[in-house]
């Protein structure tokens, strides 16, 4: 409880939800088990999230690189997405989720993937290449303070600090 932004009740509920993802015979030792990413994506809280795969990737500590999650990973994720988490913590993890190539900056490719996640990949919702280019240009003009063609963490935090609904929309409630 001291290491998270969660209450005792929230941790107990998280444990219950985590262990329910495991086969019955493994539930006794849920704390020492890893849940495959495919099962995590069945949680209603993640199922509808357009960044579900990135969320699993960012919070997983799996050495196998399979994005499976331990109970500790799950608690860490819920803590970051809780109402009690600080702006700095939320914005740091949002940046990591949006940094698709994990290079520490949001470049044009990251921004294009971000927009595609938000608008959907369907024919009717996908932006034309001209619309995409204009949108990315607008994002960079607004966010890229040092004009290096990418958005770093501090530039990202500066932009989202001006968004009053960022913290309240960056949450998962069990």
Mean pLDDT of 16-29: 94
93 and 22 share one domain: no
pLDDT tens digits, residue range 44-54?
999 989 999 99
Mean pLDDT of 2-31: 94
Q: Give yes or no for residue 9 having a pLDDT over 90.
A: yes
Q: Classify 34 in phi/psi space as left (phi over 0), alpha (psi -120 to 50) or beta.
A: beta
Mean pLDDT of 28-38: 94
The CA-atom distances, in angstroms, between 6 and each of 2, 77, 105, 142, 166 are: 8, 11, 30, 34, 19
Domain that holds residue 104: 87-169
95 and 44 share one domain: no
> pTM of the predicted model, to two decimals?
0.92
Q: Give yes or no for residue 24 having a pLDDT over 80.
A: yes
Contact 30, 18 (CB under 8 A): yes
69 and 100 share one domain: no
pLDDT tens digits, residue range 80-132?
999 999 999 999 999 999 999 999 999 999 999 999 998 876 667 788 999 99
Percent with pLDDT over 90 in the chain? 85
63 and 94 share one domain: no
Q: Give yes or no for residue 166 having a pLDDT over 70.
A: yes
Mean pLDDT of 3-8: 94
Residue 35 phi/psi, 5-degree rounding, is -100, 130
Last residue of a domain, one of 46, 81, 116: 81
Give first-to-last CA distance, the chain, whole Å: 16
The pLDDT of residue 122: 67
75 and 114 share one domain: no
56 and 111 share one domain: no
The pLDDT of residue 164: 85
- Three-state DSSP state, 128: coil
Last residue of a domain, one of 59, 81, 103: 81
């Amino acid at each position: 409880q001291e290491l998270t932004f969660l209450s005792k009740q929230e941790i107990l509920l998280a444990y219950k939800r985590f262990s329910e993802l495991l086969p019955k015979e493994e539930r006794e030792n849920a704390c020492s088990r890893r849940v495959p990413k495919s099962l995590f994506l069945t949680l209603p809280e993640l199922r509808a999230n357009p960044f579900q795969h990135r969320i699993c990737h960012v919070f997983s500590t799996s050495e196998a690189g399979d994005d499976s999650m331990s109970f500790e990973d799950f608690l860490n994720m819920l803590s970051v997405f809780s109402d009690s988490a600080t702006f700095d913590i939320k914005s740091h993890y949002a940046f990591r989720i949006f940094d698709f190539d994990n290079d520490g900056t949001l470049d044009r490719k990251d921004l294009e993937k971000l927009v595609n996640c938000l608008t959907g990949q369907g024919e009717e919702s996908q932006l034309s290449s001209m619309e995409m280019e204009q949108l990315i240009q607008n994002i960079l003009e607004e966010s890229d303070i040092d004009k290096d063609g990418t958005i770093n963490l501090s530039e990202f935090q500066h932009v989202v600090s001006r968004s009053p609904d960022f913290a309240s929309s960056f949450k998962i409630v069990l």
